[in-house]
Chain A
Amino acid sequence: MSKILVIAEHLGGKLNSSTARAVSAAAAVKAEAIDVLVLSDAPDAIAAEAAKIDGVSRVLTVARPENAHPLAAVLAPQIAKAAAGYSHLFVPSTTFGKDVAPRVAALLGVAQVSDVMSVEAAHTFKRPIYAGNAIITVEADANHPVVATIRSASWAAAGNGADSAPIEALTIDAALPTHTRFVELKQGSSDRPDLQSASKVVSGGRGVGSKENFDIIYKFADRIGAAVGASRAAVDAGYVPSEMQVGQTGKIIAPELYMAIGISGAIQHLTGIKDAGTIVAINKDGEAPIFEIADLGLVGDLFKLIPELEQAL
């Protein structure tokens, strides 16, 4: 039988929804136990949140001052130790998980399955390659623990029940390196919904034309309560910060509504939105590839159409 350890992702004392998505993937394995591991300098509040996720058997905490910031080199030895006795280690496939999970896998001497989209059996998974243009079925060796990152957009977050799983503090005896140090996190402050978990996302591309013009996108997104994303071209041109990039090398998202405005629909961008419920495209070029995958398309100048959309709301 499988026993799964899910590594919790958190920031600013709050659990990230990618954790509950990884728990959903663990549930798909039909494991006998799903434990969540919280590494932090102050894990209690985060652990309490994790304990409420449906399907979680136990929450384990490791409280150490060194865990104040998620440095892979510091976390990996602790996770590798905590993983003893588990058949699977699941980590969200976010920048946090992508950074730390392979480091753990190497310490354990096993391969890693990146970006699990579906669980076919306890050791058989589907994952995308070539920017999502092919989906492969991979079989992991059943004689070794499975280390996998879970593609958040493929999994709904496990629900929150009334019950709380027990929380246990772990002491892990691992020498932690001091060769890597956290300096700072420059975070854009925004009251808008979080891009990775929002149900509606409005994204702007190069067609928006400038940083100033991007206000049109923000204003419209605020009107409909959406998060704001962008194409790589818009980020590269300096219209918006990098954390807003959607796509193969940005965020992979699955909102119910995705609106691509002034975005041509390059394959690397589409990779990031394939799992969206409804895709709307607004582009002045009727031949833009984005229209081939859009559920609803509207050809025209965004500067004329957005005010008209606001009027029609």
Chain B
Amino acid sequence: MKILVGYKRVVDYNVRIQVKPDGTGVVTDGVKLSANPFDDIALEEALRLREKGVATEVIVVAIGPADLTAHLRNGLAMGANRAIHVVTAEAVQPLTAARVFLKLIEKEQPGLVILGKQAIDDDANQTGQMLAALWDRPQATFASQVEIADGKAKVTREVDAGLEVIEAELPAVITTDLRLNEPRFIKLPDIMKAKAKPIDTIEFGSLGVEAHDHLKTTHYAAPAKRSKGVMVKDAAELVAALKQKGLL
């Protein structure tokens, strides 16, 4: 069984995001870029399934600009067998990304697609669910545990009420939550090995995907700031302050 893994490059989660003063975007020049943390978890899960003998091949997929090669090499160094780079200079919205994944599925026929539950740049949390709908297959979002047996995935999902367990026939789409696993570190020899692994490059335009974006972002703003409050000296003063505000 092949596993396709979403491997998006995003602004690193440690970067303090600055909105441009003219409201046209956020500052991305010179900031550190990394794999979306949820996608590292997706890749780790796929690699573990391959190590268990459940999967035979793990393919990382990134849709994005021409300079994604180093990013994809990281995924290969972590252990993916090969990479697919769908090249587009434009940022793709989730519906478009889902349509691209569907095209790749038609070609690769994977038994499982693992994506992150959300990309930490747009925080959309949509692509996996949209892909599952277009593909007409099960979805198991926000996974914190995955077991594959007998052509089925038993997935524990982190939901507001607790932990939900569902069973999904394969092929299916799984999206990862943070507690699914802890991604491995890349070792130096693996970086060397990764150089020999193949990266397929596909022009976005050649896929025949409709890229009509229904959403236009017209303005970026910094969030309303909470101002620094006051420090109290002891517990009694804190309780008094809260009582005064009518909160206790």
Query: Which residues in A have some Cβ–Cβ distance to B below 8 Å?
Result: 11, 71-73, 76, 94-96, 98-107, 109-115, 124, 128-141, 144, 177, 179-188, 196, 200, 224, 232, 235-236, 241-243, 248-249, 251, 256-257, 267-268, 274, 277-280, 291-299, 305, 308-309, 311-313
- The count of chain B contact residues (Cβ–Cβ below 8 Å) is 82
The minimal Cβ–Cβ distance linking B110 to chain A, given in whole angstroms, is 16
Residue B223 at the chain A interface, CB threshold 8 Å: yes
Residues of B within 8 A of A294 (CB): 228-229
Chain A residues closer than 8 Å to B165, beta-carbon distance:
182-186
Within 8 A of A (CB), among B98-140: 98, 117-118, 120-134, 136-140
Q: A104 to chain B: which residues have CB within 8 Å?
A: 133
- What's the dominant secondary structure at chain A's contact region? mixed
**A313 CA / B228 CA spacing, docked (Å):** 25
Shortest CB distance A223–B (Å):
10
A73 adjacent to B95 (CB under 8 Å): no
Given contacts A184-B165, A293-B226, contact A102 B231 (CB under 8 A): no
Question: B44 near A: Cβ within 8 Å?
Answer: no
| Residues of chain A contacted by B144 (CB below 8 angstroms) | 242
- The CA of A144 and the CA of B126, in the complex, are separated in Å by 18
8 A Cβ contacts from B163-204 to A? 163-169, 172, 177-179
A98 touches B125 (CB 8 A): yes
Contact of A183 (CB < 8 Å), options: B128, B167, B172, B223 = B167
B154 in complex: contacting residue of A111, A112, A183, CB < 8 Å: A183
Q: Which of B1-40 contact A (CB under 8 A)?
A: 11, 13, 16-17, 19, 26
Check A73 against B138 for contact (C-beta < 8 Å): yes
CB-CB < 8 A to B236: which residues of A? 308, 312
**What's the nearest-Cβ distance from chain A to residue B240, in Å?**
8
* Cβ-defined contact, B238 with A309, below 8 A: yes
Query: Which residues of the other chain, B, contact A224 by a CB distance below 8 angstroms?
Result: 248
**B155 CB, nearest partner CB in chain A, Å:** 9
Contact B242 A257 (CB under 8 A): yes
Interface contact B16-A180, CB-CB below 8 Å: no
Instruction: Assess the A182–B123 pair: CB atoms within 8 A.
Output: no
Chain A min CB distance to B70 (Å): 22
Contacting pair A107 B223 (CB below 8 A): no
CB pair A144–B161 under 8 Å, yes or no, is no
Q: Which residue of B lies closest to A267 (CB)?
A: B16
**Least Cβ–Cβ distance between A73 and chain B, in angstroms:** 6
Known: A185-B161, A243-B158, A294-B229. 18 other contacts (CB 8 A): A94-B160, A95-B141, A105-B95, A114-B124, A114-B125, A130-B121, A133-B222, A134-B223, A135-B222, A136-B219, A187-B162, A224-B248, A235-B179, A242-B163, A243-B161, A291-B231, A296-B241, A313-B239
- Check if B215 is an interface residue, CB within 8 A of chain A: yes
Known contacts A134-B17, A134-B220; A99/B178 CB under 8 A: no
